[in-house]
Amino acid sequence: MKQLHVIGVSKRYSSKRGSVKALASVSCSVQQGEFVALLGPSGCGKSTLLRLVAGLSQPDDGQIEFREWVQMPKARLVFQDSALFPWMSVWENVAFGLEMEAMPVAERRERAVALLATMGMADFHQHYPHELSGGMRQRVAIARAFATEPDILLMDEPLRALDAQMRLVVQEELLALWNRQKPMVLYVTHDIEEALLLADRVLVMSGKPGKIREEVISGFHRPRDLTGRDHKNLEELKWHIWKLLESDVRGQLQSGTANTV
Ligand SMILES: Nc1ncnc2c1ncn2[C@@H]1O[C@H](COP(=O)(O)OP(=O)(O)OP(=O)(O)O)[C@@H](O)[C@H]1O
């Protein structure tokens, strides 16, 4: 089974204003096909951990290991405000990674349009980003990430800017795409319910310096009811996670550094 192992990873940032320990000896493992959420107070190092797994920066201590992969896994990142290329149409944006992989144009267009069709967006494939709503643009960014069939999908609050109803729809689309391809997913969110409803496991982090405090297994059956109605112990798990986070969040409020949970 292909696996990601984060082993005793620490990361410090230094700037003119001083030095911040973003992660302190963080360890976790994720299996191929698992959907894992990272949840924690603002500044606890969630994005730093994603960047380290993506290879965009290196740990000061510890290792990131990809085991049982014949070659380096293909990782894709999706951010809250993943920028689309404004001069490219929707399908060209979705197919961008395939162009980088030298797939012929007819084939990549076909793949992009088929992917958009599964999200009910086939009619928009020739539109340009400025003609789309924020929610639609974010859906295109998600389609772009899935188009290359990545081994690992690293998602940093991808749905944060969407309103609650739109978020529910896009969450459903995201789970449908994930279910079809089953990449390993690391999904950063501030939303306790979202973490529990999307993921198999929630890694609850604490801050200053960032550590993994507890692993919570959601254990809900799939397909998930993203309204949460079907999942009897959802409220109990939400409460449990809130209790893990509460003191960090209250501490941030007192020191004036809080953004959100
Ligand atoms: N490039 C950088 N230079 C200096 N400090 C940084 C840098 N990037 C992050 N930090 C600091 O490292 C800590 C962890 O940041 P990170 O963005 O990983 O946290 P986060 O949990 O993703 O935060 P948020 O939930 O607010 O997005 C924070 O204190 C942040 O200010």
Rounded to whole angstroms, how far apart are CA atoms 209 and 91?
42
From ligand 1's centre to the CA of 94, what distance in Å? 29
Average pLDDT score over residue span 60-87: 93
How would you label 32-56 residue by residue, b for 16+ Cβ within 10 Å and e otherwise?
A: bebbbbbbbbebbbbbbbbbbbbee
Mutate to test the pocket of ligand 1, among 6, 10, 12, 13 (most ligand atoms within 8 A of CB): 13
Tokens 């992989």 belong to residue: 101
Q: Cβ contacts of residue 127 below 8 Å, gap of 6+?
A: 89, 90
Compute, in degrees rounded to 10, the torsion defined by CA atoms 8, 9, 15, 19: -20
In tens, the pLDDT along 151-202 reads: 999 999 999 988 999 999 999 999 999 999 999 999 999 999 999 999 999 9
Task: Tell me how far apart the terminal alpha carbons of the chain are, to the nearest angstrom.
Answer: 34
Integer Cα distance of 235 and 183 in angstroms? 28
What is the whole-number distance in angstroms between the Cα of residue 76 and the centre of ligand 1?
20
Pocket of ligand 1 (CB under 6 A): 13, 15, 20, 22, 40, 42-48, 259
Q: What is the mean pLDDT of residues 88-100?
A: 94
CATH number of 74-185: 3.40.50.300
pLDDT at 258: 57
- 160 Cα: distance to centroid of ligand 1 (angstroms): 17
* Ligand 1 pocket, mutate which of 21, 26, 47 (most atoms under 8 A from CB): 47
Average pLDDT (60-70) is: 96
User: In which band, very low, low, confident or very high, does the pLDDT at 260 lie, cut at 50, 70 and 90?
Assistant: very low
CA-proximal residue: ligand 1, atom 1 (nearest): 13
If you average pLDDT over residues 69-81, what whole number do you get? 91
Q: How far is C-alpha 259 from the chain's CA centre?
A: 19
Domain regions of the chain by residue span: 1-21+51-72, 74-185, 189-239
Atom number, ligand 1, closest to the C-alpha of residue 207: 21
**pLDDT 10s digits, 103-148:** 999 999 999 999 999 988 999 999 999 999 988 999 999 999 999 9
